[in-house]
Amino acid sequence: MLLFTAGTQGYFLSRSRVWESMLLILIAFTFFRPGFWINMVIPPYETIKSAKIYQAAGKLNVGTKMRPIVEGQDDVGDKKDFTTRLPIGEAGDGKTRLEALGLELLIDSDKFVIDNAVFDSIAQKVGLDFD
């Protein structure tokens, strides 16, 4: 790596060693992507099966946010996959907590279907809709 500085213009020529350049690249990587190192120690998310959504919502602390990955169709019928964040509030079982957000679910054997997202509820505001 070369740096040019001189006088008031700032031209100075200096070589860096290979290990210094590698160290600078590692430091820059750590600044721009700190989660890379943290995720090696603590997993970022816990993945659960969709049929256990009520159990998962019941275990969460008040104020935490659940991140469901939703697969469905948009208004035209094209496939639409997106992730949203649902703030969990009120104490109670998982079904009560999700209904308080305006979300009514039909649970099949291994997946769930959104039966209703109540008008002007948190669930509708984050982009969830029926079916």
Helix (H, G, I), strand (E, B) or coil at 113: strand
Count CB-CB contacts under 10 A for residue 79: 8
Same domain, yes or no: 39 and 54: no
* % of the chain at pLDDT higher than 70: 89
Q: Of 72, 83, 80, nearest to 47 (Cα)?
A: 83
Q: Apex CA 39: angle with CA 36 and CA 45, to 5°?
A: 130
Q: What is the mean pLDDT of the chain?
A: 79
**Same structural domain for residues 75 and 118?**
yes
54 — pLDDT class (breaks 50, 70, 90):
confident
pLDDT given at position 96: 83
Query: In angstroms, rounded to a whole number, what is the distance separating the alpha carbons of residues 112 and 53?
Result: 8
pLDDT at 6 over 70: no
Number of domains observed in the structure of the chain: 2
Range of the domain at 19: 1-43
pLDDT in tens, 109-125: 777 777 777 788 777 77
Tokens matching residue 37: 């190192």
Residues 33 and 70 placed together within one structural domain of the fold: no
Q: How far apart are CA 41 and CA 35, in angstroms?
A: 10
Indicate whether 26 and 71 sit together in one domain: no
Residue 61 lies in a domain: yes
Percent with pLDDT over 90 in the chain: 13
Contacts of 107 (CB under 8 A, 6+ apart): 51, 53, 54, 113
In a domain, 13, yes or no: yes
Same domain, 21 and 84: no
Strand partners, 112: 107
> Has residue 8 got a pLDDT over 70?
no
> What confidence category does residue 3 fall into, taking pLDDT thresholds of 50, 70 and 90?
low
Check whether residue 60 and residue 116 sit in a common domain.
yes
Tokens representing residue 77 in the block: 């019928």
* Predicted confidence (pLDDT) per residue in 29-50, tens digit: 999 999 999 988 988 888 777 7
Regarding whether 60 and 17 lie in a shared domain, the answer is no
Question: What's the whole-model pTM score?
Answer: 0.58
